[in-house]
Amino acid sequence: MSFSSDTKAELCRGAITRRCCAQAECYGILLYANRFDAGGARIVTESEELAQRLPLLFKKAFHFTFDTLPEPSPGKKTFTISSPDKLEILSNVFGYDPGSVVAHHINFAVLEEDHCRSAFFRGAFLAGGSVTDPSKGYHLELTTSHLSVSRELLNLLREAGFEAKLAPRSGNHIVYFKQSEAIADFLAAMGAPLAAMELMNAKAEKDLRGGVNRRVNCDAANLDKAVEAAQSQIEALRRLLERTTLEDLPPKLSEAARLRLENPDMTLTELAQLCQPPITKSTFKYRLDKVTELKDVKPHRKDKEMEK
């Protein structure tokens, strides 16, 4: 199963207690269903858990059953309501006149309580929502064909403290989240704390892995710089030794040059600890820099005569 399917399964495990919340959840389902108009309602789902929840939910909310129930088989399952009496019950509960409705709007009076709003969000997600596997990215969306409903849901979410965005797609209207924290909060508010926790764990793991990779890359870059600097120092010392010896250098500089030549793979900090007595990294670097600068110093006359 996908992360989105697992999330819907978790949402469907929630108990159906308050009738007002059952109605609010049904309201979200209907507005985000395959069809909901004066001619009837059609809910299509591939979720086994939602297929089991729907009859119980509508029975609790409206005291009626669907006119058409799906066959118990894998694949998409379709539930329909076509009875005029049942459609009238829906219109009375949600406060609209089927004969005069041009476009659906959310009746905010049905969603005055926080628990009813959460139930409405849950229903909208169950019917028209999806969420990306957090190991691949962060995206949650709610899709409906009703533009006004999508705009009003956006306002409802913002009033509840959720920052979402709106976008059209192939004739539908999408309210979506892109921030991991917002998605986790929304999942928890709908009643899916396990999915929210899984998302945040995946984010923490991804952040940790990213931090480790950055440190590894940084350490590798620093190592490359250290190796390059060491090779440059050794090359300078070899050029210097073409016309003089370590014994001709002052003792401290001679010691620095010898340690660098004998230990090409060591860092300056490690070399500084080999000095007698041990010195700081900056002091060792200063001495080594003084030695390597001598490679460009022209030899005195006496040196030239010695070279001859």
Cα 58 to Cα 40, 54, 153, 274, distances in angstroms: 15, 6, 22, 81
What local confidence, expressed as pLDDT, does residue 295 receive? 65
Q: Give per-residue pLDDT as tens, 246-281.
A: 777 888 888 888 888 888 888 888 889 999 888 998
What local confidence, expressed as pLDDT, does residue 219 receive? 65
* Number of C-beta neighbours around residue 42 at 10 A: 18
Please report which confidence band the pLDDT of residue 39 belongs to, taking 50, 70 and 90 as the band edges: confident
Distance (Å, rounded) from C-alpha 72 to C-alpha 49?
12
pTM for the whole structure? 0.69
The yes-or-no verdict on residue 86 having pLDDT over 70 is yes
3-class DSSP state for residue 63?
coil
Q: Which two tokens stand for residue 51?
A: 């297929």
Distance (Å, rounded) from C-alpha 264 to C-alpha 249?
20
Q: Which residue has the higher pLDDT, 259 or 80?
A: 80
What local confidence, expressed as pLDDT, does residue 158 receive? 92
CB 11 within 8 A of CB 122: yes
User: For 273, phi and psi rounded to 5 degrees?
Assistant: -75, -20
Q: Give per-residue pLDDT as tens, 216-242.
A: 677 667 666 777 777 777 787 777 777
What local confidence, expressed as pLDDT, does residue 302 receive? 39
What local confidence, expressed as pLDDT, does residue 304 receive? 39
What local confidence, expressed as pLDDT, does residue 224 receive? 67
